[in-house]
Amino acid sequence: MERKKKMKKLCALAILFLAGTILAGCSIMKNAKRQEYEERFSRISEVYPTAKAEDLFKKFPKGFRIVYIRQELTNNKTFFHEFKLRGDHTTKQIIGDYTKVRIQPYNDEIIMTSTVTYSDKNGFQTTDGQVLDSSLENVRFLFTQLPIDYQYLKSLDLDAITESPVTGDYSIRYEITNENINSYINLPKGSKTLLEFRGYPKYDKQDKYFLTLSVERSEKYYFSETVIEE
């Protein structure tokens, strides 16, 4: 009996040791992956901040693209706004397409589509006379409001790291309380949000800037902007 008890204790200790070793190994791997991704995302400081959207022509002489998405709750209805813009290096104009969708169970409804232009002076303007929501008329991109660099990323509380086994696309997500961001997306002071960065190996290999930043509080509050170097 005594021998069996000793064997059980030894087995329990071995299991605890093995579990501790695995957890320690996972923690080391997670920290290494975090450092790797944050080093990749350090290029974000090339754009965040940029004083004016039109200054991107100086940073990307061949032009650029911006995808700007905002999902918000208005009068108990959820709306999705998407702007797909292109900075034309020949005309120095920022122009693209806008879509407004009402999010509904099983049947999203397209409310509005239009061609739009963007300038730092006038914000978004439709080319066909349709009227944008007042909350969108004077939008300034987040990259004109918020400085982000490698040191800032290192200081944040990590929430999750992901990598697609198929495409290799990767992301890193943090839980933050940032009053600049809360103000930008009209959240109450002190609100916690999830700040996520997504990267794409295809563009990493081409040494081109392609980065998506998104902020999420719930399914009702979501914002993202993607800047792509042509």
Dihedral (C-alpha) 32, 38, 40, 46: value to the nearest 10 degrees?
-160
Closest CA to 56 of 148, 119, 133: 119
List, as own/partner pairs, every contact residues 95-99 make where C-beta atoms lie below 8 angstroms and the sequence separation is at least 24, other chains included: 96/66, 98/124, 98/126, 98/132
62-104: pLDDT as tens digits: 999 999 999 988 888 899 999 999 999 999 999 999 999 999 8
CA distances from residue 159 to 106, 164, 188 in whole angstroms, order as listed:
30, 17, 21
Q: Are strands 77-88 and 170-176 parallel, antiparallel or unpaired?
A: unpaired
Q: Is the peptide bond before 188 cis (omega within 30 degrees of 0)?
A: no
Beta bridge partners of 119: 123
**pLDDT, position 138:** 83
pLDDT band at 107; cut points 50, 70, 90: confident
Longest CA–CA span in the chain (Å) reads 89
Closest CA to 46 of 207, 184, 214: 207
> What is d(CA 199, CA 134) in angstroms, rounded to the nearest whole number?
32
pLDDT band at 3; cut points 50, 70, 90: low
Which amino acid is it at 221?
Answer: Y
187-226: pLDDT as tens digits: 899 999 999 999 998 888 889 999 999 999 876 789 999 9
> What is d(CA 3, CA 54) in angstroms, rounded to the nearest whole number?
78
Class of domain 41-229: mainly beta
Strand locations in the chain (E): 64-74, 77-88, 93-103, 109-119, 123-126, 157-163, 170-176, 193-199, 210-218, 221-229
Domain ranges of the chain: 41-229
pLDDT band at 19; cut points 50, 70, 90: very low
117-170: pLDDT as tens digits: 999 999 999 999 999 998 897 889 999 999 999 999 999 999 999 999 999 999
In this prediction the pTM is 0.84
Mean pLDDT, rounded, for 40-65: 96
